[in-house]
Structure 1
Amino acid sequence: MRIAVVTGGSSGIGQSAATQIADRGAGVILTYSSNESGALDTVARIEKDGGTAVALPLELGRSDTFAAFRESVVAALRDTWQRDTFDALVNNAGFAQMSMFEDTSEDLFDRFVRVLLKGPYFLTQTLLPLMVDGGAIVNVTSNSALLSGLEPGYSAYATMKGGLTTLTRSMAKEFSTRGIRVNSVAPGSTRTRLADNAFARFPEVIPALAAKTALGRVGEPDDIGLLIAALVGDEGRWITAQNIEVSGGYNL
């Protein structure tokens, strides 16, 4: 049985990725920060369909906790699956916040760095010794770092996601000696709890976003989760170092 680690698995894209990967027969270790009930809901969904999953707490913005997190992963692998390695890592956890360039504080900028760029970098470094040769990594970026998704108010956020896209290619180059594939997916506007549950709080923005999308609607978590599951599965076995926009043709 394959095992995947999915960060930010308590809602949205991470929850979808975890359940879609589990639907393909893999065990899942998913993480959460503040939303433990959402993480337990993801575990319950997976178990209801006959799968196995474990939820672990992780503060992605605190790299000093990563060594202890690795020990939690080791324990979960041993106790739940009698394994000492895992097969796939999905770096999904993050946060979004709109802030115009002239209003962006150093504190917010530094938080973006810690959570969106430094976090995935050093978490991957920490977990890499536990990953099997021939494994797969997917980093969740954003089309805000692409010309198609360029919008005002996301200069700091998009800068980190652009950095993660570049990091994806470097990881793919270095990890290829172990047969590990590394790709990223760049969602467009997607109905998640991101940005303090903005879609639920401001539903009036949805028609305008749908109108700018070639396929005529905003994204749903499963639109991205299905692709992530494919990339870490056999369908993605010959794909590496790619950043795939998943936006339904935003601004096409």
Structure 2
Amino acid sequence: MDIVIITGGSRGIGASAAKACAQAGMGVILTYNQNPEAARRVVLSIEETGGQAVALQLDVGVSASFAPFRDAVASTLLSKWQRADFDALVNNAGYGLYAPIPVVTEEQFDGLFNVHLKGPFFLTQALLPLMADGGHILNMASATSRVATAGVAPYAAFKGGLEVLTRYMAKEFGTRRIRANSIAPGAIRTELGGGLNDEFEAMLAGQTALGRVGEADDVGRVVASLLSDANGWINAQSIEVSGGYLI
């Protein structure tokens, strides 16, 4: 059984990805930051359908917590699956913030940077010793880094940086046959950034070729698919999952 770690797996795309990976036969370690009950519900949902999952606490914005988290992962792998390594890491945890450039504070900028770029960089670094050769790193980018949307400049900039980082991961980890890809979701109906009101959703749907905004499951299924052996020759790519947004 392959084991996948999914950060931010207690809600939204992360929760959907956790369930999709479990349905595909993977064991799942999902992380949560402030809502253990939501994480428990995801684990229970997976277990009710015959899957295996564990939830661990992690704040991706605090790199000092990564070494203790690595130790917790090692302990969990051994006790739950009798393994010393895992197979895939999905750097998914994140949050949204609407603030035009003239009013973005340094604190807001640093918070987004820590979670969306610094966090995935150093968390991946911390977990590499536990990752099996032939594994997979999947980074959650965003279509906002490709189409300028007023009010999300720092978020989009760091997501764009994550796409660049993905290619470097693929280059540097290739000697261990570890592949690295990123997914760039378009407009998705989640709680990120406060969610979508009816007017905003209608506008986004009108700008999408398939005529609607995406659901978390639209992305979660792609995560599970990319982690499968069927897509084992896809490497160093950023795949937009947007239904055809602004094409």
Task: Tell me how far 1:173 sits from its aligned partner.
Answer: 0.3
C-alpha distance in structure 1 between counterparts of 2:227 and 2:198, whole Å: 33
1:228 matches 2:229: no
Match of 2:96, SS state, is coil
1:185 matches 2:222: no
Aligned residues between the structures: 247
Match of 2:245, SS state, is coil
CA-to-aligned-CA distance 1:162-210 (integer Å, 9 cap, x gap): 11000000000001100001000000110111113x22xx233111111
Q: TM-score, normalised by structure 2?
A: 0.98
C-alpha distance in structure 1 between counterparts of 2:198 and 2:16, whole Å: 21
Aligned equivalent of 1:171: 169
Letter in 2 for 1:84: A
Letter in 2 for 1:115: V
C-alpha distance in structure 2 between counterparts of 1:122 and 1:54, whole Å: 22
C-alpha distance in structure 2 between counterparts of 1:213 and 1:172, whole Å: 30
C-alpha distance in structure 1 between counterparts of 2:73 and 2:149, whole Å: 38
Letter in 1 for 2:161: G
Match of 1:96, SS state, is coil
Letter in 1 for 2:111: R
C-alpha distance in structure 2 between counterparts of 1:193 and 1:58, whole Å: 19
C-alpha distance in structure 1 between counterparts of 2:230 and 2:203, whole Å: 34
Aligned equivalent of 2:151: 153
Give the conservation status (yes or no) of the 8 Å contact 1:33–1:59: yes
Match of 1:129, SS state, is helix
Q: 1:1-252 counterparts in 2 under 5 A?
A: 1-146=1-146, 149-196=147-194, 198-199=195-196, 202-252=197-247
Match of 2:97, SS state, is coil
Match of 2:239, SS state, is strand
Q: TM-score, normalised by structure 1?
A: 0.96
Give % identity.
53
CA-to-aligned-CA distance 1:26-76 (integer Å, 9 cap, x gap): 100000001212111110111011011000000110000100001110111
C-alpha distance in structure 1 between counterparts of 2:126 and 2:210, whole Å: 39
Give the conservation status (yes or no) of the 8 Å contact 1:143–1:150: no
Letter in 2 for 1:140: M
C-alpha distance in structure 1 between counterparts of 2:199 and 2:56, whole Å: 35
Letter in 2 for 1:157: Y
C-alpha distance in structure 1 between counterparts of 2:59 and 2:198, whole Å: 29
Match of 1:169, SS state, is helix
Match of 2:139, SS state, is strand
CA-to-aligned-CA distance 1:5-37 (integer Å, 9 cap, x gap): 000001111001111111011100000001212
C-alpha distance in structure 2 between counterparts of 1:95 and 1:235, whole Å: 31
Give the conservation status (yes or no) of the 8 Å contact 1:142–1:185: yes
C-alpha distance in structure 2 between counterparts of 1:207 and 1:35, whole Å: 30
C-alpha distance in structure 1 between counterparts of 2:168 and 2:25, whole Å: 30
Letter in 2 for 1:32: Y
Where do 5+ consecutive residues of structure 1 fail to align?
A: none
C-alpha distance in structure 1 between counterparts of 2:181 and 2:187, whole Å: 20
C-alpha distance in structure 2 between counterparts of 1:12 and 1:235, whole Å: 25
C-alpha distance in structure 2 between counterparts of 1:230 and 1:117, whole Å: 24
Task: Tell me how far 1:221 sits from its aligned partner.
Answer: 0.6
Letter in 1 for 2:172: E
